[in-house]
Structure 1
Amino acid sequence: MAEGGVVYTRSETGSDHRHSGLYSRHSRNYVESVSVEICTIMTRLGYGEEIRRWRVEKYRGLDRLRNKRSTDVISITAGSKAEGLTGYFESDKDTLYILKHVLCVEAGTNLDTIPDDIDVFRMDTREYPGHCILLQERPATIPSAQIYNSLCHNGYGEVLLSSRLFQDYMYICQDLYMPPLLSRYAEPTGPSRPVVGLDIIYDDIVDAIPCHCPSILQRWAARPRHWPSPVIVQKVVSFGACVTPVGHKGSDNKHIEWRICFNIGETELVNNLNGTQAKVYVILKMILKDLLKPTKKEITSYVLKNIILWQAENTQPTEFYERSLLHWLYDGLRQLRTAIDKKHLCYYMIPERNLMAACGLEDALQRKWVADITDMMDEGPRVILRLEKIRKAIVASPEPMLWFSQKRMEVEMLYLELQNRLTQITNENGDLDLGYLALEFYSCLNVSDVLGRIRQEGNPAIGPIDVLIRLLM
């Protein structure tokens, strides 16, 4: 039996399970044919492999360009944007700011290998699993303001790095990082600093400290698994970890606790899911947002990501293909129902950490969601019709839908290319060149084409900016 998750057995995750549940209520041919149709629709909605891989590469390129001009932090796109699973305006953009001149290490690390200009903190992991307290092991020759202003004493002669003081200081100083256009900030949520622009959440910034914790990563790497490949496992290990300024919700010491995270490695893992797995993940997120509708983050998309990762690890990769999409969606819903019912889901990277601990899920809502998910599972393939985005795509005429899908993909590709080119120009001389102007011109042409077709079909007149935003949603 594999370690972690809402514990899986082979019969629960592999082909042995296929005779029960979904297939006991609906014929296999029907379920598999609907699965293929849904895969096609998801591709047209902007979740196909071509646009997914394009997004991943462009956001990686954007990170490389931004980090060329940064001296204090490394900027890393994280979350659904880095995974290529959302359009430009479809959801917030998660950005990790990793400080360069500070490092936290496990006990017993040889400090002689670490340059003197780096603040070094030792991880005390005797807190809640997946969290730690940072004890100052060696101050830098010239400490950074972020670190110096976040230090406190624990009353036993030791100096700690306070997550609360650190987050407060970064919130006060964030004007240094953002342009004036985006200078309206929402209140911090968890470890993030939401940046608001144009009346939408533009960026969710999470400040982080690099973390050297080989023992944690080696425990993860040593697990028996079907996925990912040994090469990818070692790649994830090489990315290391970081800590972010948020403690365990139920802890009396949460103001000095830090959460151990593996954002870069987890992005690599999601990017190694195949197209069917990625689409199951996206549909689960739609179900969470459109049907369950949590209002206090009792359940987040991060819970769903962990369900998908456990599902992948415990199953032969050949089991995931287009005709099996609904089977794996059904399996994901079942695992989500169990996690809610038991208030327990093991964190994929550190199974001792329960992602459902202190999630604020009240008993009445817990019972409702368990019942709602049971109803969805009983519905079988028709549950897809509850999702507005997919339902509209199903009833739309095929030719206009295909045309609009192609235009949307072209505009998004051009827009991401524009963002990268503009960043490159900013790094250089700041002068717009013919390449940038050509990209802008072709973007305008595509928006104009869509606007013309909308008006031709007798739909209410909308402006080009509205069209652009809709195309990038």
Structure 2
Amino acid sequence: MASYFSSILFHAMDCIGFSRQMILLRSDIANNMYETVSENCAEYLCMEVILAGSKSEGVTQTNASDNDLMLVLRKCICVDTGRQENDFIVLEAITKDCPPGYTQLRLVNDGNMDIPDIFYMASEYDIIKGVLLLKSAGFHKFFTLVSADIPSFDGLEQKYTAINGPAFSMIVERSNYLGIKSAKIYNDHVLAMPYYSFTILTEWKNRVRHYEWPPASLIHDVSTMEGFVVPIGHKLSEEQHFEWRICYTTAERQLITSLNETQLKLYIVIKMVNKNVIKPVLDCVTSYMLKNVILWVTECSPLCIQHSSYLTRFMIQSLWFLLHCLLNNHLPNYMIPSRNLLLGKMKSDQKQTLTRLLGDLINEGDTIVLRCDKLKNAMFILVSNQSLAFAFKVWRDEVEKLILEINRNITIKTRPDMILRSSYIYDMCYEYWKDESYMVNIFRLYSLLNVDIFSLTQNGIQNFQDIVTCLDNLLS
């Protein structure tokens, strides 16, 4: 019975956009779009834009959640042992006396290279260590203030919101042609610098693994990838304002996208259970914690039993793993196991509440997923009318594919010099009309949505707004 329920859930997820094909397609196009943005803006920003988080992994639908962006300063390089280089600003990592997963940064400079003033403004001399340290708090604050001063322009209204850890959040409200309002864009921006550590990745590569994942080729690839440092210290550290967090964002993305279909769907189900069941009671389990839970559970399980009929079994196993970590006050980071993701994250009463809740969910078993309306409705339709469910899957996937292609087309056509002009909206409309493939996709989308073009032009703004609302409901 459990295996049948699990198989129904597995196939029902295909109907709402979570087949492996759609997950990887979203990931590929989203990351490709920001590679294009990065290339287009290289001259203006002097940094690389990297998409991070759920959007980059494709496990979040196109219109759901926000965009987590890393702004990587490519003229900087952080290393374990540094020396002056003519083409880079070199920073040496000082991990001694820092919490695991954090480091302090010493500016390596002999006066032969021009260093931006911010590096000196955000630096402070440490008398005990006898070195000039780059202050993460000062660097973060300066960058946030500069970004907040960027002017708005015709077609986009920027609204800055609260700082969250190393990120500063921005809301962009798009005002389109003739005043049509589309969905707001939520972006979290994190400043980062590339970090190369032989020690951390060597320990990760050589640690004992008892099963087949990750495969040897993936372990090798990940062990050669760069890490990043972001301006945030450990909140319980006395020197947190001088500390930078070490992360392996692109390596984790490669690990996630390498998962098989059952493992990917497990990750999505756990995120949905957290959002619909755990978070309304207690908002202290982050998506990043769940990602690390899934990576550990996958590594510690034989691949031979990781198929569709075991999906809910692994969901319960993941909750057991999280409960075990909670009881032991230690959830190890997958890339840096000595870094405890639970440290300083919740109070005693929150821990007790979460412990009871996880115990109740484990006892409830497979039917937890029925508390997620989107999963419950998809499973009901699949069981009651399989042909209708399949037809909806084909239609829905085609709509999202067109939206993804349209978004990619918009990104390719958008250049920084266009954005800064007051005629931005009209310039973009002109670019669209010149592109036959773009217009074909638009009219194909209208056809799939059963939109009458004549009525659309007659009724104007309200009909466009209805289309935007329909797509948000479908793809969120």
TM range (shorter): 0.7 to 0.9
**Map of 2:125 onto structure 1:** 153
CA deviation map 1:178-220 (0-9, x unaligned): 9642510111101111111347552111110101112111110
- In structure 1, what is the Cα distance between the partners aligned to 2:438 and 2:55? 23
1:343 is displaced (CA, Å) by: 2.2
Among candidates 156, 165, 173, match of residue 146 of structure 2: 173
Is 1:123 aligned to residue 114 of structure 2? Answer: no
- In structure 1, what is the Cα distance between the partners aligned to 2:191 and 2:231? 7
Code of the residue aligned with 2:91 in structure 1: it is: F
Is 1:99 aligned to residue 73 of structure 2? Answer: yes
**Map of 1:468 onto structure 2:** 471
Among candidates 58, 61, 79, match of residue 32 of structure 2: 61
Among candidates 394, 409, 416, match of residue 421 of structure 1: 409
Among candidates 388, 408, 430, match of residue 396 of structure 2: 408
- In structure 2, what is the Cα distance between the partners aligned to 1:171 and 1:178? 14
Give 3-state SS (helix, strand or coil) of 2:450's partner.
helix
**Structure 1 residues 186 and 122, CA gap change in structure 2 (3 angstroms):** same
Give 3-state SS (helix, strand or coil) of 1:448's partner.
coil
1:177 is displaced (CA, Å) by: 7.2
CA deviation map 1:106-150 (0-9, x unaligned): 02x4x36x4x13211110112000000001122672223543432
Superposed, 1:206-245 pairs within 5 Å as 206-225=190-209, 226=211, 227-245=213-231
What 5-or-longer segments of structure 1 have no aligned partner? 1-29, 452-460
Is 1:287 aligned to residue 258 of structure 2? Answer: no
Code of the residue aligned with 1:150 in structure 2: it is: A
> How many residues are aligned here?
430
Give 3-state SS (helix, strand or coil) of 2:133's partner.
strand
- In structure 2, what is the Cα distance between the partners aligned to 1:145 and 1:283? 47
CA deviation map 1:318-350 (0-9, x unaligned): 221001111111100101112222221111111
**Structure 1 residues 197 and 86, CA gap change in structure 2 (3 angstroms):** same
1:400 is displaced (CA, Å) by: 4.7
**Map of 1:335 onto structure 2:** 321
Among candidates 136, 160, 163, match of residue 188 of structure 1: 163
- In structure 2, what is the Cα distance between the partners aligned to 1:413 and 1:182? 28
Is 1:76 aligned to residue 78 of structure 2? Answer: no
Is the 8 Å Cα contact of residues 316 and 366 (structure 2) preserved in structure 1? no
- In structure 2, what is the Cα distance between the partners aligned to 1:390 and 1:305? 20
Is 1:395 aligned to residue 375 of structure 2? Answer: no
CA deviation map 1:340-393 (0-9, x unaligned): 22221111111111110011x222222222222212111222222112221222
**Map of 2:449 onto structure 1:** 447
RMSD: 2.5
1:262 is displaced (CA, Å) by: 0.0
Is 1:384 aligned to residue 369 of structure 2? Answer: yes
- In structure 2, what is the Cα distance between the partners aligned to 1:287 and 1:403? 27
Code of the residue aligned with 1:322 in structure 2: it is: S
Among candidates 333, 336, 344, match of residue 358 of structure 1: 344
- In structure 2, what is the Cα distance between the partners aligned to 1:416 and 1:364? 44
Is the 8 Å Cα contact of residues 117 and 142 (structure 1) preserved in structure 2? no
TM-score normalised to structure 2 length:
0.84
Among candidates 267, 270, 285, match of residue 256 of structure 2: 270
Higher alpha-carbon deviation: 262-271 or 247-256: 247-256
Code of the residue aligned with 2:70 in structure 1: it is: L
Code of the residue aligned with 1:142 in structure 2: it is: D
1:317 is displaced (CA, Å) by: 2.2
Is the 8 Å Cα contact of residues 284 and 329 (structure 1) preserved in structure 2? yes
Code of the residue aligned with 1:413 in structure 2: it is: K
Code of the residue aligned with 1:75 in structure 2: it is: V
Give 3-state SS (helix, strand or coil) of 2:26's partner.
helix
Give 3-state SS (helix, strand or coil) of 1:75's partner.
strand
CA deviation map 1:242-274 (0-9, x unaligned): 101111111111111100000000000000111
**Structure 1 residues 365 and 188, CA gap change in structure 2 (3 angstroms):** same
Is the 8 Å Cα contact of residues 26 and 58 (structure 2) preserved in structure 1? yes
Among candidates 436, 440, 448, match of residue 438 of structure 2: 436
Give 3-state SS (helix, strand or coil) of 2:224's partner.
helix
- In structure 2, what is the Cα distance between the partners aligned to 1:177 and 1:322? 49
Give 3-state SS (helix, strand or coil) of 1:46's partner.
coil
**Map of 1:258 onto structure 2:** 244
- In structure 2, what is the Cα distance between the partners aligned to 1:422 and 1:177? 22
Is the 8 Å Cα contact of residues 411 and 471 (structure 1) preserved in structure 2? no
**Map of 2:422 onto structure 1:** none
- In structure 2, what is the Cα distance between the partners aligned to 1:372 and 1:200? 34
**Map of 1:6 onto structure 2:** none
**Structure 1 residues 104 and 294, CA gap change in structure 2 (3 angstroms):** farther
**Map of 1:371 onto structure 2:** 356
Give 3-state SS (helix, strand or coil) of 1:195's partner.
strand
Higher alpha-carbon deviation: 350-359 or 404-413: 404-413
1:45 is displaced (CA, Å) by: 1.5
Identity %, equivalent residues: 28
- In structure 2, what is the Cα distance between the partners aligned to 1:316 and 1:378? 24
**Map of 2:136 onto structure 1:** 163
Is the 8 Å Cα contact of residues 232 and 241 (structure 2) preserved in structure 1? yes
Give 3-state SS (helix, strand or coil) of 2:360's partner.
helix
- In structure 2, what is the Cα distance between the partners aligned to 1:381 and 1:375? 12
1:407 is displaced (CA, Å) by: 2.7
Code of the residue aligned with 1:96 in structure 2: it is: M
**Map of 1:26 onto structure 2:** none
Code of the residue aligned with 2:265 in structure 1: it is: K
- In structure 2, what is the Cα distance between the partners aligned to 1:173 and 1:447? 42
